[in-house]
Structure 1
């Protein structure tokens, strides 16, 4: 029997399932990633410590959706780049066309100092909103929005 700390995460399985659902439905799968030193992406495209990437097969080459990493090659400004994303840094996966997908809870403990979030009117920013436990919410923060079913929601801020 596996103990909870030894049990594998469901996140990579859910990422693969939602990626497959998007692809089979004719949607474009996007991932929102919380960037730190473990994430290999073009840093010039990182905004407020986050990056949103098209992970559709038309936009990537050699995609591997593994249990530990998402790896692929993609072009940025016409230049091919190797992308490596630890699965635990993925904040959300969703369909670009309708926003349906899933947000994932992010670990409170992080080796990297989080970058303060600011909206930029020139570029859309995906905000992954999760429903934290009451002990995780500081008293000075407003409550986070949830869907009528009480599940986390994704909000696109423009």
Structure 2
């Protein structure tokens, strides 16, 4: 039996911590063809979203997807964020939270057995996937805001 990633559980925990502390939870995510966000709001293949109860409706944080309703420019939109695309969740007020290494779908990348793949092979596969998506590979993954206290989880 395959174990479920800890990432969705950590996302829900940090979100709940933000709400309990009276902070505004922000979610930073990569935007690709599996991500549904309003057109024109993503910058450089990423978007940062306010996940507070005041800013979202019908928020669901499942193991595979985060979905909710939000207003952009006064118009209501339904958003769907794949959990694998999430790169950070943090409190707007103090930057505390957690950052994650970007993940890549093994079926998209063509990897048959990621446990046997070398680090160099995985980096090359990630670069190919980014090129297919029309994105330039970055030297480093997207980072949380300056001055934040996020821990990057690999």
1:128 match? 143
- Aligned CA RMSD, in angstroms, stands at 2.5
What are the ranges of 5 or more consecutive residues in structure 1 without an aligned counterpart?
119-126, 130-146, 154-158
State the Cα distance separating 1:116 from its structure 2 match. Answer: 4.2
The TM-score with structure 2 as length reference comes to 0.71
Change (3 A) 1:104 1:75: same
* Residue aligning to 1:152: 152
* 2-structure distance, mates of 1:96, 1:104: 17
Q: Deviations over 1:62-119 (max 9, x none)?
A: 000111110000000000000000111000000000000100111253475363499x
Normalized per residue, the structure richer in helix is 2
Alignment correspondent of 1:113: 133
- Pairing 1:37–2:37 present: no
C-alpha spacing 1:60/1:87, structure 2 compared with 1 (3 Å):
same
Q: Which moved more, 1:57-66 or 1:106-115?
A: 106-115
For residue 75 of structure 1, the aligned residue among 52, 71, 75 is: 71
SS at 1:75 equivalent: strand
Query: Residue 16 in 1 paired to residue 12 in 2?
Result: yes
Distance in 1 (alpha carbons) for counterparts of 2:134 and 2:13: 29
Structure 1 residue 86 corresponds to structure 2 residue 62: no
> Where does the alignment leave 5 or more consecutive residues of structure 2 unmatched?
105-125
Shift of 1:37: 0.2
1: CA distance between counterparts of 2:35 and 2:85?
8
Q: Distance in 1 between matches of 2:8 and 2:134?
A: 23
CA drift at 1:7: 1.1
Kindly tell me the number of residue pairs found equivalent between the two proteins: 122
Q: 4+ residue runs of structure 1 moved beyond 2 angstroms?
A: 107-118
- Contact 2:61-2:67 at 8 Å conserved across structures: yes
SS in 1 for 2:33: coil
CA–CA distance in structure 2, aligned partners of residues 104 and 67 of structure 1:
15
Contact map agreement 1:48 1:116 (CA 8 A) in 2: no
